[in-house]
């Protein structure tokens, strides 16, 4: 029951966030890992093979106006919460915490130097 209550609370928070974002003008675009924008709106008449490069990874991003008319770029992350059951949510949260801990450990500690033979 607590899992369902938590899921409903998360749903209401997401709905409030979506309603707040709907009123703001925004553009959806592709970014390279280096941060270079592909300006898909201006390139709508081109074929994808001419615009996008082979073996390149792109990130889907939302570009909106911030304070002082500067562009604010937010990567769009789809975590799948809308299609998971509450039990799967709990497992997913645990997996995310484990992955974050592994990432912190990998960055922070180099480990012991290898033994010389």
Rounded Cα distance between 13 and 79, Å, is 15
Confidence of residue 41 (pLDDT cuts 50, 70, 90): confident
Please give the C-alpha separations between residue 22 and each of 12, 16, 26, 73, in angstroms, as whole numbers.
15, 10, 9, 16
Q: Smallest Cα–Cα separation from 41: which of 54, 52, 30?
A: 30
pLDDT digit string, tens, across residues 48-105: 777 787 777 888 888 887 777 788 888 888 777 778 887 887 788 888 889 888 888 8
């Amino acid at each position: 029951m607590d899992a369902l209550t938590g899921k409903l609370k998360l749903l209401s928070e997401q709905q409030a966030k979506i309603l707040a974002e709907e009123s703001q003008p925004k553009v959806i675009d592709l970014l390279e890992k280096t941060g270079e924008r592909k300006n898909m709106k201006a390139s709508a008449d081109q074929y994808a093979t001419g615009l996008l490069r082979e073996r390149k990874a792109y990130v889907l991003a939302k570009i909106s106006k911030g304070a002082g008319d500067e562009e604010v770029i937010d990567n769009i992350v789809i975590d799948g919460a809308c299609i998971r059951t509450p039990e799967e949510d709990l497992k997913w949260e645990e997996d995310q915490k484990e992955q974050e801990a592994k990432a912190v450990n990998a960055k922070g500690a180099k480990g012991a130097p290898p033994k010389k033979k």
